[in-house]
Amino acid sequence: MPWDASENYTVDPVKVAVLGAGHAGRGLASYLSIHGYDVSLYNRTIANVKRISKRGGIKVQGLFEEFAYLPLVTDNIAKAVEDRDILIIIVPAQAHTFFAKSMVPHLKSGQTILLMPGRTGGALEFARILRAQSYPDEILLGEAQTFSFVSRITGTDSVLISKVKNSTKVSAFPASHNRWFMRSLRRLPITFNIADDVMETSLDNIGAMLHPTPTILCAGLLESKEGGYNHYHDAISKSVGRLVERMDTERISVSREFVSQPVSLLEWLRNTYDAEGTTLRECIRSIDAYDDVGSPSSLDHRYVMEDVPTGLVPISYLGRLAGVETPAIDTVINMACQLYDLDFWSSGRNLRSLGLKGLNPNEVREYVRTGAMPEEYSGLHEISDVFGLEVDDI
């Protein structure tokens, strides 16, 4: 989907840092570059992007057939974020803690940080870590509900972009900063829609529904054949689809305790990909963008290693906070614990790591709106936010 300059984007010059050079990071950096943006690309392991650095960019295939120039490709996070207006972190969610700690000394007032995506509770966890350190006050922080692209690495210096999604939900934390957050993101050639708050983007975690369950239930085939099938078309059979739909019903029940209008998995597929069908299986098979998506070749894959601890586990804990049972979700988490011989319940995001320990649902909703804990509520009317307006002006 080419950029149409009439779609409410500004033409202000903006410098972007893309932090993470996996499938999605390379796709995003390339997309921004071929639309004329000054983009730096950071990866923790320079060997993985050495060829990109040597060539000065990435060959783009699929929707675009161009060369995306990237003059700065680095493993030095200070250089990557220096003088950048928007910092987009596009890595497995377990790495958010690393980035929160590593970026603090190099952040400057006025920068915008977008977790793409935050998974479940990404911005909350990120904010808790930043607040434990010394960082500039005038930083906009928020998260996306999902990636804005379907892209795959096709070589050491090439990427295929097969789909730019119709739109992507985003929210700032706290939600009282949403106006400024959107004003910043509208400088990018991507269609963003504002969510009410980060509970909406977090609990609309579609990856946690589509990724771990089909992967776990295909473990035998995956290990014996080392992949080789289509994750969406082959692994999501009618029966697996029904189980995922059951899990999604539980996710919606949890969401209703925190979100005004939760979106079901099927609704999201229709809105994002124009999917057709009345069941998950039917909708998935109608999506052309999934036709060429392969499968994991190993169980050591983000579909479980990321989406269970930063997706399913915090959804379950939020359910407990709200008094909502999640038996299907809990079963898949327990299956993952047994299959991997790992305690995802302990290693995953929990109420304490999200900064929500001891809060009730009403207090959570107020916290994500204002950024203030219950004991701070009484003084909120006297506090102007760092961007110059009262907390309740949005």
- Supply the pLDDT for residue 376: 63
Residue-wise DSSP of 86-132: EEEE-S-GGGHHHHHHHHGGG--TT-EEEES---SSHHHHHHHHHHT
For residues 390 and 161, what is the distance between their CA atoms, to the nearest angstrom? 42
Reply yes or no: is the peptide bond before residue 117 cis, omega within 30 of 0. yes
CB 358 within 8 A of CB 161: no
Catalytic residue among 157, 196, 307, 385: 307
* 310 DSSP assignment: I
Per-residue pLDDT of the chain (394 residues; tens, 9 = 90+): 233 333 444 445 799 999 999 999 999 999 999 999 999 999 999 999 999 999 999 999 999 999 999 999 999 999 999 999 999 999 999 999 999 999 999 999 999 999 999 999 999 999 999 988 877 778 999 999 999 988 999 999 999 998 888 889 999 999 999 999 999 999 999 999 999 999 999 999 999 999 999 999 999 999 999 988 999 999 999 999 999 999 999 999 999 999 998 999 999 999 888 999 999 999 999 998 888 788 899 999 999 999 999 999 999 999 999 999 999 999 999 999 999 999 999 999 999 999 999 999 999 999 999 999 887 655 544 444 444 433 333 2
3-class secondary structure, 219: helix
Q: What is the pLDDT of residues 130-142, one digit of tens each?
A: 988 877 778 999 9
Is 211 marked active-site?
yes
Domains and CATH numbers, the chain: 15-203 (3.40.50.720), 207-347 (1.10.1040.10)
Q: What is the pLDDT of residues 119-163, one digit of tens each?
A: 999 999 999 999 888 777 789 999 999 999 889 999 999 999 988
Catalytic residue among 23, 211, 231, 301: 211
Is 307 marked active-site?
yes
- Supply the pLDDT for residue 377: 54
Backbone conformation region of residue 334, classed left if phi is above 0, alpha if psi is from -120 to 50, else beta: alpha
- Supply the pLDDT for residue 12: 59
- Supply the pLDDT for residue 384: 40
Six token digits for residue 163: 């789909």
- Supply the pLDDT for residue 292: 79
CB 126 within 8 A of CB 100: yes
CB 253 within 8 A of CB 283: no
For residues 378 and 188, what is the distance between their CA atoms, to the nearest angstrom? 38
Q: What is the pTM of this model?
A: 0.88
